[in-house]
Structure 1
Amino acid sequence: MMLKRRAALALLSSTALLSLAGIPAQAADPGVDLIILSDLHSAYERMAELLQAVQARISAAKRPQVILFNGDLFESGNVVTTRSGGEADWAFLGALAKLAPVVFNIGNHEPDLDNDLAHFVERARGVGVTVLTNIIDKRSGKPYADAGTTLSTGSVTLTIAALGTNALGTYPKPTREMLDIPQPVEWARANLPSMLKSDGINIVMSHAGVVPDRDILPMLPDGTLMIGGHDHLTLVHEQGKTRYVHTGSWASLFTVATLAGPGEAAKIEQIAVERDGSAAPDLKAVIATVLAKHLTDEDRSVVAHTVKAQTLGETARFTASAIAAKVGADIGFIGHTSFGTGLPKGDVTRFDYNAAVRFEGKIMKAEVDASVLADILKRCNQDGNVALSARTGDFLYAVPDKTGDKKTYVIACNDWSAINRKAYFGREDLAFTEVPDLKLKALVAEALSKT
């Protein structure tokens, strides 16, 4: 699908694109580098560092650059984001658009700050970003934006298609009544064959998650680059010349996919972003200003202290263990995307704590026999090198991960995991009961105070 006129600011001519990347047209290497971002979630602790890393990559580039953002710029759980209207987030997106063409696939958090997605699309286009989505506005019966576009970068032409998640419960409640979201696999089957080119460079940006993406992959022409999101995973899956990548979340890393030309497999490089690394000064100043203006004394209050920084996985496993210990369960469980980032070293403010432990929740318990527990544990702790066929998308961390000789076990988890037991535990027959007068965030903070 060709670009509409209003998207022209974002998709520049090949000469302009080369100029943006700081590369004389006659000296550029063939192909294109795609800088892939996803699931940023207002990660102010690393957003300026991410921008600096992207700037450095583009300034040193030997071929044209395109930035692909696969959804979820905002995070309503970040109180500074909501109080400032996403001032730093919009500054970040605008800065990206000045570096290279940006193509943005709408995720489920784009309406976090303004519940009308049409307003996000309008504002993003205003800073020079091309927005794609297959989500339909119920009020008009029309898509919020085109679901596909083409982009010429001099030596190559990219065909890009985009789709979102139909997990309606993950969108802000006021937004849901405005959305008509196709089932991802059905939409892909009906639309991708006519959108993608058998002899071209094809890119599919999916914010639907691993489970539907796995069913979509066999439909794609060999050599397609498929970009996943929503599940906050880091992975590279090879299928012939097709590559399927997830690039993590919370600005922890970004991915560079180098495409030499049609029919060639993308070369994938994933680059970590350090929390205390070199930062883009202008954005760092914006973030400092909004933090100073919008953080209250309560937000700045210290709720825990850590001896060392913890990764997301370490924080999640600590939480699962704390749940089990608090309620006397044999094993604790907690969902992967219940966490944004890991805990910093030293004093942990309430603001930083809420970036790690994203959601409040009740605590639930159930009793299971040994064989049921064994089946559940096979699905857990998918943050390692897990085959695509075994992935469930969002997953449970479980601690401990070894069991004894008991016939039955008491398990405990947060209420979101219990409510969505089919997705997380793989079964509907778990009889959870609430542990009274106990909430997740206070439980974890208490456990941290004892370390």
Structure 2
Amino acid sequence: MIGRVLAVSDMHSAYERTGRLLAAFEREVKSQAVPHVIAINGDIFEHGNAVSVRSGGAVDWAFLAEAAQLAPTVVNLGNHDNDLTPDLAEVVARMRSLGVLVVSNIVDTRTGATYAASSTTAPFGSRRLRIVGLATNALSTYPQASRPQLSIPAPGEWASAHLADLTQGADPVLVLSHAGVVADRTILPLLPDGALMIGGHDHLLFQHSQGRSAYAHTGSWTNAYTVADFHEDGSVTAQSRAVMADAPSWPPLQGLIDATLAAHMTDEDRVVLGRRAEPLSLGDTGRRVAAGFAQAAGADAGFIGHTTLGTGAPSGPITRHMFNSIVRFDGRLMGADVSFAQLEGFMARANQDRPIPLDQRSGDFLYGAEARPETGRSGRAGVARIVTTDWCATNQGEYFGTTMLPFAEITDRRVKAVAAAALFKA
């Protein structure tokens, strides 16, 4: 084996596992006497984590500093990496001060230059690992205050224009894309054979082989990471590793996590909103919430975006702080009347947490669930009533595959309140 890459995307200040991920990385580095590179493919920070905001991301920054001591560490900038510090230039400078390499194709409109070089190299034994980074151009997903400072090219067009030059003569190659799987499909044919491409932004978890190359999404909320092995025959293989909630943690970082939570959580954060007898996976959490939407609105089916959720609902008491990591965003509920044929199509498109071919993945997908007939059927012949969040209604082309749905607000219903009722009811 030539070397290994330990990759993670979309961490989102998931402090319940941050120390456990670092301990896992240490074990990986010690388990194989080959060069390692740690690759963090965007979205380290999370503005929905009140403790992260109040502490200035102390835990996240400590994680980066410790990772850089374990192995050469590179960060590709995502759309949440300036959640706490709006100016990406300041974020990049601080990362570099910790010894972290940074790559990005995001342009600073104030200077006309990218916030970091779009490619760099990291030591990889007797070789040099060429690393290229690109971001999502979905500007509405970046912190609003920073948007005037950001110019982001369309990922596929940028890769078509630059990837060959940036990877020419390089062996081996790592491409970090925080652009999402739909954009990534246009980039994959451009990869040199034997390259590794790590995707992010959509919070997906899968691996895909292309010739001697490997393409993987690593999951989200620090629930998993990916180990990619570069082999002597020029091929790359990738596999996922779970980060269990009861796995050993890195003691110094865990001490900081515990102290940070104690110092920055308020009484309101600690309020127990409800209890669950059994945990739910992320997918089952999404479907439970979607069904709750439908039942609360008297609709036939409910839908919620995959990345509106962070992690699955655990068993036991769930505080407000924990709940905010399950349902990340609040908002209005929106309803629309559709045909039953349309509803069947939406349901077929939803719930992409199941195994699914790469060419059928739509990126940030919907969890969908039909309401129980006795509580949720609209009762109108040939007409189905659906309900979703205002984000999914506004971006219906991405989520539902159409822009013609006549959504209207459902008054007196908010996303988080209805979701909580669905998760905590007996």
TM-score (norm 2): 0.96
Is the Cα–Cα contact under 8 Å of residues 291 and 371 in structure 2 kept in the other structure? no
For residues 288 and 430 of structure 1, the distance between their equivalents in structure 2, rounded to whole angstroms, comes to 46
Encode CA deviations 1:65-90: one digit per residue, 9 max, x unaligned.
11011001000000000000000110
- 1:52 and 2:23 equivalent? yes
For residues 376 and 431 of structure 1, the distance between their equivalents in structure 2, rounded to whole angstroms, comes to 15
- 1:408 and 2:383 equivalent? yes
Cα deviation for residue 373 of structure 1 reads 1.8
Which sits farther off after the overlay, 365-374 or 179-188?
A: 365-374
Cα deviation for residue 402 of structure 1 reads 11
Give the 3 Å change call, closer, same or farther, for CA 182–269 of structure 1 in structure 2.
Answer: same
- 1:240 and 2:240 equivalent? no
Cα deviation for residue 58 of structure 1 reads 1.1
Match of residue 146 from structure 2: 175
Of the three residues 283, 298, 309, the one matched with 1:328 is 298
For residues 246 and 327 of structure 1, the distance between their equivalents in structure 2, rounded to whole angstroms, comes to 35
Amino acid at match of 1:33: R
- 1:428 and 2:398 equivalent? no
After superposition, the CA RMSD in angstroms is: 1.6
Is the Cα–Cα contact under 8 Å of residues 159 and 197 in structure 1 kept in the other structure? no
Within-5 A mapping of 1:346-357: 346-357=316-327
Cα deviation for residue 184 of structure 1 reads 0.6
Gaps of 5+ in 1: 1-29
For residues 364 and 156 of structure 1, the distance between their equivalents in structure 2, rounded to whole angstroms, comes to 54
Match of residue 263 from structure 2: 293
Q: Which structure 1 residue ranges, 4+ long, deviate > 3 Å from structure 2?
A: 401-406
**SS of aligned partner of 1:142:** coil
For residues 325 and 363 of structure 1, the distance between their equivalents in structure 2, rounded to whole angstroms, comes to 12
Of the three residues 198, 202, 226, the one matched with 1:231 is 202
For residues 186 and 169 of structure 2, the distance between their equivalents in structure 1, rounded to whole angstroms, comes to 19
Match of residue 179 from structure 2: 208
Gaps of 5+ in 2: none
Match of residue 130 from structure 2: 159
For residues 9 and 238 of structure 2, the distance between their equivalents in structure 1, rounded to whole angstroms, comes to 15
Within-5 A mapping of 1:207-286: 207-261=178-232, 264-286=234-256
Is the Cα–Cα contact under 8 Å of residues 43 and 251 in structure 1 kept in the other structure? yes
Cα deviation for residue 359 of structure 1 reads 0.4
Amino acid at match of 2:354: G
Of the three residues 362, 375, 383, the one matched with 2:345 is 375
Encode CA deviations 1:284-327: one digit per residue, 9 max, x unaligned.
11011111111000000000110012211111111001001111
Within-5 A mapping of 1:298-313: 298-313=268-283
Is the Cα–Cα contact under 8 Å of residues 302 and 348 in structure 1 kept in the other structure? yes
For residues 244 and 370 of structure 2, the distance between their equivalents in structure 1, rounded to whole angstroms, comes to 29
Give the 3 Å change call, closer, same or farther, for CA 150–402 of structure 1 in structure 2.
Answer: farther
Amino acid at match of 1:52: A
Amino acid at match of 2:424: S
Give the 3 Å change call, closer, same or farther, for CA 371–198 of structure 1 in structure 2.
Answer: farther
Give the 3 Å change call, closer, same or farther, for CA 189–401 of structure 1 in structure 2.
Answer: farther
Which sits farther off after the overlay, 243-252 or 365-374?
A: 365-374
For residues 124 and 354 of structure 2, the distance between their equivalents in structure 1, rounded to whole angstroms, comes to 36
Count of residue pairs the alignment pairs up: 421
Give the 3 Å change call, closer, same or farther, for CA 199–47 of structure 1 in structure 2.
Answer: closer
Give the 3 Å change call, closer, same or farther, for CA 401–253 of structure 1 in structure 2.
Answer: farther
Cα deviation for residue 443 of structure 1 reads 1.0
Cα deviation for residue 446 of structure 1 reads 2.1
Cα deviation for residue 371 of structure 1 reads 2.1
Cα deviation for residue 406 of structure 1 reads 5.6
**SS of aligned partner of 1:112:** coil
Is the Cα–Cα contact under 8 Å of residues 164 and 206 in structure 1 kept in the other structure? yes
Is the Cα–Cα contact under 8 Å of residues 202 and 364 in structure 2 kept in the other structure? yes
Match of residue 423 from structure 2: 448
Give the 3 Å change call, closer, same or farther, for CA 254–406 of structure 1 in structure 2.
Answer: farther
Amino acid at match of 2:245: R
Match of residue 132 from structure 1: 103
Of the three residues 301, 304, 317, the one matched with 2:287 is 317
TM-score (norm 1): 0.91
**SS of aligned partner of 2:102:** strand
Give the 3 Å change call, closer, same or farther, for CA 406–259 of structure 1 in structure 2.
Answer: farther
- 1:69 and 2:40 equivalent? yes
Give the 3 Å change call, closer, same or farther, for CA 63–324 of structure 1 in structure 2.
Answer: same
For residues 299 and 402 of structure 1, the distance between their equivalents in structure 2, rounded to whole angstroms, comes to 33
Is the Cα–Cα contact under 8 Å of residues 68 and 104 in structure 1 kept in the other structure? yes
For residues 243 and 125 of structure 2, the distance between their equivalents in structure 1, rounded to whole angstroms, comes to 30
Match of residue 49 from structure 2: 78
Cα deviation for residue 367 of structure 1 reads 0.7
Amino acid at match of 1:416: W
Amino acid at match of 2:191: L
**SS of aligned partner of 1:177:** helix
Amino acid at match of 1:141: G
For residues 385 and 449 of structure 1, the distance between their equivalents in structure 2, rounded to whole angstroms, comes to 29
